[in-house]
Amino acid sequence: MENGTATLKSGPEQRDRRGRTGGEPASQAGGSQTNSGGAKDRPWELRIWSGICPTGIFRELVRNRFRCGPTRIGMAIILCVLSLMNCLLWLLQTVLYGRRIARTEIRQPPVFVLGHWRSGTTMLHELLVCDPRHIYPNTFDCFCPNHFLLSTRLFTWWLWPLMPAKRPMDDMKVGWDSPQEDEWAMCNMGIRSPYLTLLFPNQPPAYPEYLDLRTISPEARQRWKAGLMWFLRCLTLRKPGRIVLKTPQHTCRIKTLLEMFPDARFVHIVRNPYVIFPSTIKLWKRMYKYHGLQNPRFEGLDDYVFDTFNRMYDAFEADRPLVPKGQFCEVRYEDLVKDPVGQMRRVYEDLGLGDYEIVRPAIQAYVDGKKDYKTNRHELPAETRDQITRRWAAFIERYNYAPPGGAN
């Protein structure tokens, strides 16, 4: 869901004399945009919820008392109809593949890419999956997690005209085989997630307890684990290999992930918070408009981003000591865009991911293919800059970032 490949040409954010930094356009927090970016909102395009199961969509409709916007009622009806089709396909896949899925073993510990939205996790994810030894959930897998083993070949060849050419939050190209966040798969499998806020953006945030999984019941945590494990077994059944996953929420789920995979590897990426904040605001605004069943008002969005960031990193810092030596690596986004080949070599060495020379040519080809991508720029208002400095002070101090116009 966030941009990582967009700055390979320009390198780390460069500040101009007005304090403007490279990244995404300014948000409602203020500032003028120099490049609007983003995909057009075409009503006929598929939404991520088109692959949702009946449990997921009907539970959310009832929980939110069917408060769909007048212009989104048709979308809600279509999702309900599609959910029934998804259920039938899931039943058929269970009949054909159920026993094989249950017997599938995940033999290699997964790699989890950690980091806040818009911090470069997508770039890092895509660099890691350049390795032919690695596997990952793609867009269709997360779009139709309930039956992708059965339906990939049936649907992807004729659904492509309904696929947006670019992601709704930026100018990044997207395709059915693009690496995608496993959190979307969990949503479409009917598992609770904060991402379900996108369906009804004018209601209170959905399932905030599922951000870090710390306060949910043992039974709910077990259901969450079982859902993720089933999805990963499906991926492994299709093609064995080391699974690489990227979902920002995993940043504050280290304890739970280690319970599932004691030998898991974690690579954490950090980025200038003065770029992250306005870019994240823009992300949620665009996603609310594109995927929601209401016309969003964006009330309380700034506070939501501030508070979620702090909650995420409070949990992250508490759980980081649980990771055994040799299973954790940290990367600065600014260093990664400056020297992606060298930084990826360090990631492979720190995490023991195998011979780096096998994948180095593919990583270099990826970097060369993205070198002409141009980033948007934004201006950060003084009031917003001061709020970031105050509310994210612990992160800023820990990672030695400075406000626009200052020196790192």
pLDDT per residue over 121-170, tens digit each?
Answer: 999 999 999 999 999 999 999 999 999 999 998 875 556 555 555 555 55
pLDDT at 13: 36
Kindly compute the dihedral angle of the four CA atoms of residues 123, 117, 270, 345, in this order, to the nearest 10 degrees: -20
- Assigned domain for 404 exists: no
Does residue 15 register a pLDDT over 50? Answer: no
Scan for tokens 């593919």, then name that residue.
362
Amino acid identity at 62: V
Range of the structural domain that residue 308 is part of: 5-399
Six-digit token string for 151:
């339906």
Mean of per-residue pLDDT scores for the chain: 87
Q: How many structural domains is the chain composed of? A: 1
- Average pLDDT (224-251) is 98
- Assigned domain for 15 exists: yes
- Assigned domain for 406 exists: no
Does residue 336 register a pLDDT over 50? Answer: yes
Q: How confident is the model at residue 185 (pLDDT cuts 50, 70, 90)?
A: very high
Say if CB 146 and CB 51 are below 8 A apart.
yes
Q: How far apart are CA 346 and CA 353, in angstroms?
A: 10
Q: What CATH number does residue 82 fall under?
A: 3.40.50.300
Six-digit token string for 337:
């865009």
Q: How confident is the model at residue 262 (pLDDT cuts 50, 70, 90)?
A: very high
pLDDT at 21: 39
Q: How confident is the model at residue 176 (pLDDT cuts 50, 70, 90)?
A: confident
Does residue 400 register a pLDDT over 90? Answer: yes
pLDDT at 20: 37
- Assigned domain for 408 exists: no
Q: How far apart are CA 194 and CA 384, in angstroms?
A: 25
Q: What is the pLDDT of residues 377-392, one digit of tens each?
A: 667 899 999 999 999 9
**Percent of the chain residues topping a pLDDT of 70:** 82
Q: Phi and psi (nearest 5°) for 324?
A: -60, 155
